[in-house]
C-alpha cells in the first residue's frame, strides 16, 4: 500500500504494519490507522513518528520513555489489556508524545498519557495513568540528578 504524507512524502507500507487505534487518539478521533516509523534509518534512536494513514499531515513525534526515565512504570488496567488483546507483556510497546517548541534541548514528553501498542496484533490506544508524579509536560532532557520520575 502507498500513502502520501506531508512530512515524509510518499511511503510504501506493508498492510501488516498498520496499527489500528479503534477509538482514535484523543483529539484526533477521526484518524484510526497509523504506521510507526523509526526516527533514524538504523533504528537505534529512541524516537519514532506515528504517521496517520488517513490524514497525510497528521504525525506524532514519539519517544521510548524508558530510554530517559528508567523508573517509569506503566500499569495497565484489565479492560485495557482486553481491548488490546494482550497475551504477553513482551508484545507491548509503550511510547510517549514529544512536544518541541523551540530547541530540542527544551523538549517535553507526556508521561501521564502514554500510547500503548500491541505489536503482535497491531492494536493501539492512549491511556491516562493514575500516577500523580507523572507530568503531561515532563522535560525530556534533564540533569542526571533530576532523572527520577
- Residue 89's CB is within 10 A of a number of other CB atoms, namely 8
Domains delineated in the chain: 2-142 (2.30.290.10)
The number of angstroms, rounded, from the C-alpha of 116 to the middle of its chain's C-alpha atoms is 7
Q: Is 148 a residue whose pLDDT tops 90?
A: no
Model confidence at 108, pLDDT cuts 50, 70, 90, reads very high
DSSP string, 78-126: HHHHHHTT---GGGEEEEEEEE-SS-GGG-EE-SSS-EEEETTTTEEEE
Query: What is the pLDDT, as a whole number, of residue 43?
Result: 75
What is the DSSP pairing of strand 108-109 with strand 92-99? Answer: antiparallel
Query: What is the pLDDT, as a whole number, of residue 142?
Result: 73
Query: What is the pLDDT, as a whole number, of residue 42?
Result: 81
Amino acid at each position: 500500500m502507498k500513502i502520501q504524507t506531508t512530512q515524509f512524502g510518499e511511503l510504501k507500507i506493508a498492510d501488516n504494519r498498520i496499527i489500528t487505534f479503534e477509538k482514535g487518539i484523543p483529539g484526533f478521533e477521526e484518524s484510526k490507522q497509523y504506521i510507526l516509523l523509526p526516527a533514524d534509518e538504523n533504528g537505534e534512536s529512541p524516537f519514532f513518528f506515528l504517521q496517520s494513514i488517513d490524514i497525510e499531515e497528521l504525525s506524532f513525534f514519539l519517544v521510548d520513555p524508558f530510554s530517559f526515565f528508567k523508573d517509569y512504570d506503566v500499569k495497565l488496567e484489565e479492560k485495557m489489556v482486553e481491548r488490546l488483546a494482550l497475551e504477553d507483556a513482551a508484545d507491548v510497546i509503550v511510547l510517549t508524545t514529544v512536544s518541541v517548541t523551540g530547541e530540542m534541548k527544551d523538549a517535553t514528553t507526556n508521561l501521564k498519557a502514554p500510547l500503548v501498542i500491541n505489536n503482535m496484533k497491531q492494536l493501539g490506544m492512549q491511556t491516562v495513568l493514575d500516577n500523580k508524579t507523572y507530568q503531561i509536560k515532563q522535560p525530556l532532557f534533564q540533569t542526571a540528578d533530576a532523572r527520577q520520575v
